[in-house]
Homo-oligomer: A and B are copies of this chain.
Amino acid sequence: MSRFKTGEFVAQPGSEILAEGASSTQLYTALEGMGLRYKTLEDGRRQVVGFILPGDFIGLQSGVMGEMKHSVEATTRMTMCVFNRSELWDLFKNHPRRSFGLTHLAASEEFLLGEMLSAVGQMDGIAKIAWVLNRFYKRLTALGLNENDQVPMPYRQQDIADAMGLSLVHTNKTLAKLRVEGFATWSGDTLTVHRPEELAELGYAKGVKPLKRPLI
């Protein structure tokens, strides 16, 4: 895969990596740091459509559909691996396994979005918050970033609110509820989960397994 790598790129916290509507000629894989995918509505509201963790691919839509359908922003400092879009073709022509992996990746994204849609559409406030915290905890644990039930959580409450379709105020109050009830504590940029099982149950997510993704 290193054949395709054309360089590394470092994004500063708060900077926009790809803009909705842009047709970038570059694609990225996140190596370190965390980011956000979001869509902006005409009245300024924002829907967060995904959290970017190390290993995630960025810009597939642009590569395959010609333009990005959401923006991508670095939350922490991020280092990324850069590819050129033109190499996508080479990949499809000469590396069927890799291109299959890419499709797998797209299907996985679709799966994640479907899960999120179910949460946003069907759950009440407390379940939504429990659901994201749990999903986060599981993904980061799978990445080996869990130390003593603590995982990094560099986002703002507003990001979680925009992800789950709740107001900032209500998100805050719901987090407080989870805290005093002893399920999980999110303070500063670390999330501590005290009772993983019960948190997962609150988020109706007993059966969700971590995704295994083929290397790319």
Contacts and interface: CB of A to CB of B under 8 A. Distances in A.
B103 A69 contact: no
Contact of A164 (B42, B60, B88, B121): B121
A61 B111 contact: yes
B118 A117 contact: no
Interface residues of A, number: 47
How many copies of this kind of chain does the complex include? Answer: 2
A25 B87 CA distance: 31
A45 interface: yes
Interface in A35-89: 39, 41-43, 45-47, 49, 60-61, 64-65, 69-70, 88-89
8 cross-chain pairs, A with B, having the tightest CB-CB distances, nearest first: A121-B165, A106-B106, A47-B118, A92-B96, A113-B113, A93-B96, A69-B111, A103-B103
